[in-house]
Structure 1
């Protein structure tokens, strides 16, 4: 407890409860990791993936934009990353579906896109 009455419920959890919590949030962590890693790979591949991203974005009829990465020290960067990922969902689906770019492991299935949408809604 702190002076404002907030309680850290994790401190009161047993090992089994903690393991259940970790298991239940694993899909959320996986979605965030996939989007973050995809963004990192695109941004840091200025000769292959970044031009490919711009091409895919253009073909999808979207405004040119690079996906923002979430940065732990910037409190709203995860929200921004999710917001842009959802807006550019068509382009993300296209680039991760292509065998050419070796990004298939970052492809989000429909359930993962729903998780991203729900998390974005909660973070608003």
Structure 2
């Protein structure tokens, strides 16, 4: 069992996945900070100081804080948009391999015999 675990744990894909998770978590922290500290206050200014997080509804002793839910949806949309734009920019910056341009071989002039044989071949194909 230990041998199987070592084979599983030390495969290259596992390390790539671990690195992706760590970088993703770090990037998530940056984007969350961008949303909470920059984007949300700017949107609040544009909306005239409206703060959704304080909206609530009270039923008896229960307080339903639907404003926090609305704010979470807005935060999600901003984070998703930021990640989308980041990935688009990253993909544009990714270098594309140059495609080899295939040159068409130049056709050499046919002599009379080759020309006649080509015509006969084409006629036979058209009759089929």
| TM-score by shorter chain over 0.5 | no
TM-score by length of 1: 0.31
Bigger radius of gyration: 2
TM-score by length of 2: 0.30
